[in-house]
């Protein structure tokens, strides 16, 4: 659960937030013990992602939810947003073991009670991170600083023209830049940390080095370049045939041809690596592949790197709660462990359905659709 390739990145994060790092280390070691010796059970999770809303105000081309191949736009969703009182009930239910809370969506800043939600999490003394496209960040910047939120991860795909083209709105780059600067130049202290997240796609892979100056100008604390998640219909069909109860249909949003020239991408990443010493913020590529691994990742669809174990351990560490209150072991499986609004979180987390899933996953290591999931490279 501590991949060697992630060690440097994790150590830097540890020293950025030592108290948080110590808590994570303790919980991660406990999860290792359970995974090895009691594999169908798990300790109470280190991290909990609250999927506050399915709604989003952008239509980013590569998004698995609302993008060109996105699955959410073709769904009829009964409960698209979680009511604030239900959010509070969940937070109260988990506050005694203090998981790290990630607020996600859709777009979490579309939730009308977003500031109240963050404030409530911080009152309960839990670490809080938000993942946002930052379209509304300028409007909420002062209030977010006031809440004491710990980190904000912001999706940004390139310099002005590149970002606006991918996100589909002219002027968006300038709008989110104003919001980011309102925080980075207005915060009194190191928090919230501003982490830029750049997904590598066919639209930007030859322009990635330009993002370092963007990050510097915005006053960001880190930038991470994420290798593209992509799948084939074959991967999904195989999982559906073998384990139909997992309901892997949401992975359909990631079926695409990457259309990335590995040689040019390697050149871009090599240039970034050569420039690192010029900047005082953290610069990461995730997963952290070598040159040969990059070539194979984008050209061999059934390949998996030998430098990673290839065994998903996320369901011993992380949990995902959707707007209807259903608890999932994975963000892109329809398989629900139960409803944590109607039932106690601890009962659902190690209930019959959860133990069934972990036992199967421990046996298989991973499913076909998991081949390029970020979580399989994280732990």
Extract the tokens encoding 183.
Answer: 């925080």
Closest CA to 329 of 248, 255, 230: 248
At 27-43, the pLDDT tens digits run 888 888 898 988 899 99
User: Whole-angstrom Cα distance, residue 356 to residue 358?
Assistant: 6
For residues 55-62, give the mean pLDDT: 70
In the prediction, which pLDDT does 359 show?
A: 95
Output the pTM of the full model: 0.91
- Contacts (Cβ under 8 Å, ≥6 apart) of 238: 368
Place of tokens 């509070």: 88
User: Count of CB atoms within 10 A of residue 202's CB?
Assistant: 15
At 265-295, the pLDDT tens digits run 999 999 999 999 999 999 999 999 999 999 9
Long-range contacts (CB closer than 8 Å, 24 or more residues apart) made by 323-331:
323/51, 323/52, 323/53, 323/54, 323/77, 323/79, 323/80, 323/81, 323/82, 324/78, 324/79, 324/82, 325/82, 325/86, 325/90, 329/354, 329/357, 329/358, 329/361, 330/373, 330/375, 331/49, 331/51, 331/250
Q: Could you give the 3-state DSSP secondary structure of residue 112?
A: coil
- DSSP letter for 304, please: -
Is residue 7's pLDDT more than 60?
Answer: no
The count of C-alpha atoms lying within 13 angstroms of the C-alpha of 158, restricted to the half-sphere facing its C-beta, is: 18
Whole-number average pLDDT of the chain: 90
pLDDT bracket for residue 244 (50, 70, 90): very high
pLDDT bracket for residue 250 (50, 70, 90): confident
In the prediction, which pLDDT does 62 show?
A: 59
pLDDT bracket for residue 242 (50, 70, 90): very high
In the prediction, which pLDDT does 38 show?
A: 84
Share of the chain above pLDDT 70, in %: 90
pLDDT bracket for residue 248 (50, 70, 90): confident
Closest CA to 52 of 92, 79, 75, 78: 79
User: Whole-angstrom Cα distance, residue 195 to residue 94?
Assistant: 26
> Any bridge partners for residue 328, and if so which?
320
CA dist 352 → 8, 39, 310, 318, 356 (Å): 38, 13, 25, 17, 6
- DSSP letter for 330, please: S
For residues 118-133, give the mean pLDDT: 97
pLDDT bracket for residue 6 (50, 70, 90): low
> Any bridge partners for residue 155, and if so which?
197
For residues 84-105, give the mean pLDDT: 96
Handedness of CA 242, 244, 245, 248 (dihedral sign): positive
Q: 183: burial class by Cβ within 10 Å (0-12, 13-18, 19+)?
A: buried
At 327-367, the pLDDT tens digits run 999 988 899 999 999 999 999 999 999 999 999 999 999 99
In the prediction, which pLDDT does 379 show?
A: 72
In the prediction, which pLDDT does 331 show?
A: 85
> Any bridge partners for residue 194, and if so which?
152
For residues 363-379, give the mean pLDDT: 90
At 195-205, the pLDDT tens digits run 999 999 999 99
In the prediction, which pLDDT does 57 show?
A: 74
Is residue 11's pLDDT more than 70?
Answer: no
pLDDT bracket for residue 4 (50, 70, 90): low
In the prediction, which pLDDT does 63 show?
A: 62
For residues 150-156, give the mean pLDDT: 97
Q: DSSP H helical segments within the chain, as ranges?
A: 7-16, 18-37, 84-94, 114-123, 137-147, 160-167, 172-184, 210-218, 233-242, 262-275, 291-299, 345-349, 352-364, 375-378
């Amino acid at each position: 659960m501590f991949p060697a390739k992630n060690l440097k990145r994790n150590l830097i994060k540890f020293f950025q937030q030592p108290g948080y790092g110590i808590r994570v280390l303790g919980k991660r070691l406990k999860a290792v013990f359970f995974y090895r010796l009691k594999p169908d059970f798990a300790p109470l999770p280190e991290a909990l992602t609250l999927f506050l809303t399915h709604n989003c105000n952008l239509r980013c081309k590569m998004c698995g939810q609302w993008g060109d191949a996105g699955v959410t736009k073709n769904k009829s969703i009964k409960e698209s947003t979680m009511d604030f009182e239900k959010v509070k009930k969940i937070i109260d239910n988990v506050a005694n073991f203090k998981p790290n809370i990630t607020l996600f969506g859709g777009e979490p800043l579309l939730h009308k009670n977003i500031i109240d939600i963050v404030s409530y999490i911080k009152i309960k003394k839990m670490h809080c991170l938000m993942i946002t496209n930052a379209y509304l960040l300028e409007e909420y910047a002062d209030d977010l600083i006031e809440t004491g939120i710990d980190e904000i991860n912001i999706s940004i795909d390139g310099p002005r023209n590149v970002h606006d083209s991918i996100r589909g709105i002219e002027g968006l780059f300038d709008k989110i830049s104003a919001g980011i600067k309102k925080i980075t130049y207005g915060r009194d202290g190191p928090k919230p940390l501003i982490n830029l997240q750049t997904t590598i796609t066919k639209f930007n892979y030859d322009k990635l080095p330009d993002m370092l100056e963007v990050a510097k100008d915005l006053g960001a604390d880190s930038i991470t370049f994420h290798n593209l998640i992509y799948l084939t219909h074959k991967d999904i069909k195989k999982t559906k045939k073998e384990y139909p109860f997992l309901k892997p249909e949401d992975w359909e949003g990631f079926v695409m041809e990457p259309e990335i020239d590995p040689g040019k991408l390697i050149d871009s990443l090599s240039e970034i690596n050569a420039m690192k010493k010029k900047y005082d913020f953290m610069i990461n590529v995730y997963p952290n592949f070598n040159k040969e691994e990059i070539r194979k990742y984008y050209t061999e669809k059934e390949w998996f790197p030998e430098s990673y174990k290839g065994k998903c351990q996320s369901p011993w560490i992380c949990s995902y709660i959707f707007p209807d209150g259903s608890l999932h072991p994975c963000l892109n499986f329809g398989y629900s462990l139960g409803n944590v609004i109607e039932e106690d979180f601890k009962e659902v987390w190690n209930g019959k359905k959860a133990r069934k899933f972990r036992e199967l996953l421990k046996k298989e290591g991973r499913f076909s659709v998991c081949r390029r999931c970020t979580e399989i490279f994280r732990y």
